[in-house]
């Protein structure tokens, strides 16, 4: 099945209390599939078709504050339209689970995949989990329910638009009864409809209290790591499939490596396998959990390499790098023997990246290692120079 159908299937098995959704490409299929499940009596969910993504998140906030399990799905400008309410959900400590089929932000208008939508919301207080393939997005969504409820933080479950959202592959589904047992019944710590314990949600944060709320959010994000691993351990016991913050691929003796997020990891792994057959000591680190950022795990994984290329499928427009590179280089700052590090902006607006492109990245890393330095850290790959004519 497609990644979108896989997410909708996970939603059906979880049977949330409320789903508020508004269609936007390429996530539209998720609420479409789910509404069919509802119409066929396969779930008890209250499905709320709203007039905008802002309203979809409003529905989820109200439902979650009232003590319900709430889910939604969106992409690109739909996520941007939720911007104001992403912060409300996070600061109110509401464990909403949102599927994001990543797509480029306007402008110019594009429906192609990149990570600019979720990366733009990286500091909104949401946990962010990324999937390489359809199996992972299905598994991630089921785990996200318990992660959010354990941390009282909302969770984005991200997959690459069209590449996995619409791409069809074989995946291994879990039996409905096992998923139901895994997620269990939601027992909120506090909820608006509990008349015995009055509660205020979204109060005015005056100066004597605002910073304490923000620090509490930050502390919850720091402590979320243990909950993510505990849920992953429970999930592995049920399925045999292992998940962590990162995945190390052929890193045992790697001298150069790439760091990547999302479906491009599959292409990069194919390149790593080819280069290994040629006798090259190369490897890959895939980041699964971007928030909270796995700094300690990354440092350990990169401690033995001589040079690393960080692949950014989004721009920060900060004049220095993309968002992932800034995080990775910051994590490496205190390493005693830091590897050389470069950033590659790639794949914006759905621009394709191939095995040959990753070969170019590894070849450039070899040159940097030989020179003992990097010339230009902030790089683009697979892009025309300004004086080249567009492809017709």
Q: What is 113-133 written as a DSSP string?
A: --SHHHHHTTTSS-EEEE-SS
Gap between the Cα atoms of 38 and 28, Å rounded: 16
172: exposed, middle or buried (Cβ count in 10 Å: 0-12, 13-18, 19+): exposed
Start-end ranges of CATH 3.40.50.920 in the chain? 247-380
391 vs 89, higher pLDDT: 89
Dig out the tokens for 268 from the structure: 């990069």
Residue 388 has pLDDT above 80, yes or no: no
pLDDT tens digit string along 20-39? 999 999 999 999 999 999 99
- Other Cβ atoms less than 10 A from the Cβ of 210: the count is 12
Which residues of the chain form CATH 3.40.50.970?
A: 3-239
Please give the mean pLDDT across all residues of the chain: 96
Tokens of 102: 């990543």
pLDDT, tens only, 291-315 = 999 999 999 999 999 999 999 999 9
pLDDT at 391 over 90: no
Please, what CATH class does the domain formed by 247-380 belong to?
alpha beta
Percent of the chain topping pLDDT 70: 98
pLDDT per residue as tens digits for the range 321-333 = 999 999 999 999 9
pTM of the predicted model over 0.85: yes
124, pLDDT greater than 80: yes
The per-residue pLDDT for range 351-385, each reduced to its tens digit, is 999 999 999 999 999 999 999 999 999 999 999 88
Low-confidence winner among 21-30, 182-191, 196-205 (lowest mean pLDDT): 196-205
pLDDT at 387: 67
Task: Please report the pLDDT score of residue 385 as a whole number.
Answer: 81
- CATH level 3 topology of 3-239: Rossmann fold (3.40.50)
Predicted confidence (pLDDT) at residue 116 exceeds the cutoff of 50: yes
Return the pLDDT at 392: 45
Integer Cα distance of 329 and 326 in angstroms: 5
């Amino acid at each position: 099945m497609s990644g979108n159908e896989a997410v909708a299937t996970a939603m059906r098995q979880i049977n949330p209390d409320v789903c508020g959704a508004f269609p936007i490409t390429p996530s539209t299929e998720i609420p479409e599939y789910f509404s069919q499940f509802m119409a066929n009596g396969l779930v008890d969910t209250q499905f709320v078709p709203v007039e905008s993504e802002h309203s979809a998140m409003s529905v989820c906030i109200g439902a979650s504050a009232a003590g319900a399990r709430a889910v939604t799905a969106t992409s690109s400008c739909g996520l941007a339209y939720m911007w104001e309410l992403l912060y409300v959900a996070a600061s109110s400590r509401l464990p909403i689970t949102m599927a994001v089929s990543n797509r480029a932000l306007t402008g110019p208008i594009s429906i192609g995949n990149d990570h600019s939508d979720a990366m733009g919301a990286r500091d909104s207080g949401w946990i962010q989990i990324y999937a390489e393939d359809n199996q992972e997005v299905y598994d991630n969504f089921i785990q996200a329910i318990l992660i959010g409820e354990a941390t009282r933080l909302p969770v984005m479950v991200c997959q690459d638009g069209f590449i996995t959202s619409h791409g069809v592959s074989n995946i291994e589904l879990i039996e409905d009864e096992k998923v139901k047992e895994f997620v269990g019944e939601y027992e909120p710590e506090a909820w608006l409809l509990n008349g015995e314990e009055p509660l205020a949600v979204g109060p005015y944060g005056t100066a004597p209290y605002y910073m304490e709320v923000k620090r509490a959010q930050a502390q919850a994000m720091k402590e979320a790591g243990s909950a993510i691993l505990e849920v992953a351990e429970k999930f592995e016991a049920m399925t045999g499939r292992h998940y962590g913050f990162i995945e190390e691929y052929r890193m045992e003796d790697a001298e150069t490596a790439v760091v990547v997020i999302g479906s491009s990891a599959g292409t990069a792994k194919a390149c790593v396998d080819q280069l290994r057959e040629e006798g090259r000591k190369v490897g890959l680190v895939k980041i699964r959990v971007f928030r909270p950022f796995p700094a300690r795990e990354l440092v350990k994984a990169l401690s033995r390499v001589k040079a690393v290329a960080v692949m950014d499928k989004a721009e920060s427009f900060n004049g220095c790098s993309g968002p992932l590179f800034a995080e990775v280089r910051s994590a490496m700052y205190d390493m005693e023997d830091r590897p050389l590090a470069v950033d590659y902006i790639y794949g914006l607006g759905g621009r394709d990246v191939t095995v040959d492109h990753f070969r170019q990245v590894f070849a450039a890393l070899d040159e940097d290692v030989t020179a003992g330095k990097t010339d230009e850290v902030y790089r683009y790959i697979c892009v025309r120079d300004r004086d080249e004519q567009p492809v017709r």
